[in-house]
Amino acid sequence: MPAESEMRIESIADIPLYNGDVEAAQGVPDVVTRLKDAIAGADGLLLVTPEYNNSMPGVAKNAVDWLSRPAADIPRVFGGKPVAICGASPGGFGTIMSQNAWLPVFRTLRAELWSGGRLLVSRAGTVVGEDGEIRDETTRENIRAFITGFVAHTGLRAAQRATAAR
C-alpha cells in the first residue's frame, strides 16, 4: 500500500444465504451490518473477485445482495463510493468476464466505479506462491500501479468531500 493508506481485508465467510423472510422477521444479520459499516467508513472499496463459469461467484453476489439491504441504506453504504474491481484466476483471462459482470451491480447501487486502471492476474497458480507471495515481478508491478492509482483517486474524492463539507 502507498504511504499513509491502509487496506482492511474483510471476509464474507459468515454471511448466510439471502432470505427475504429472514430479513423481514429478524432484520439484517450482525455480520452484514458490521461489513456495511466498514464499507461506509472507508474511502474506497476494492473488490477482489474470482471468476466462476464466466461470471462472478454466487457467494460473492449473495454477500453484496445482503449489503444492499435495507434498500434505504444503499446511499450510506455505496452511494458515490469509489469502487475498484480486480481479480486473479488460474486461466489466461484473469477474471475479465467476472469483473465485467460486477459493473451493472455497482452501477445499480450508485457507486462510483473507478476505471483508471485494470488488473487481470492470469496464471495465478504460477505467479503467486503457496504462501501468497507474488513471485512474478511484472505482476507485482501491475498490482502496485493499480493500487497506487486507486488510492490516489480515493484520496482525491475524500479531499473533495472535506472541502464540500466546509
The string of DSSP codes covering 14-53 is TPPPP-HHHHHHH-S-HHHHHHHHHHHTSS-EEEE---BT
**Residues 82-101 close enough to bind ligand FMN by CB under 6 A:** 88-91, 93
Q: Does 52 bind ligand FMN (CB under 6 A)?
A: yes
Please tell me the distance from the alpha carbon of residue 50 to that of residue 142, in angstroms, as a whole number.
17
Nearer to ligand FMN, 83 or 101 (CB): 101
52 vs 143 by CB, closer to ligand FMN? 52
Q: How far is CA 129 from CA 46, 134, 135, in A?
A: 22, 6, 6
**Choices 47-55, 77-85, 105-113, 128-136 (CB under 6 A): range interacting with ligand FMN:** 47-55
- Shortest distance in whole angstroms from residue 65 CB to ligand FMN: 18
Q: How far apart are the first and last CA of the chain?
A: 29
Which residues contribute to the site for ligand FMN (CB under 6 A)? 50-54, 88-91, 93, 124
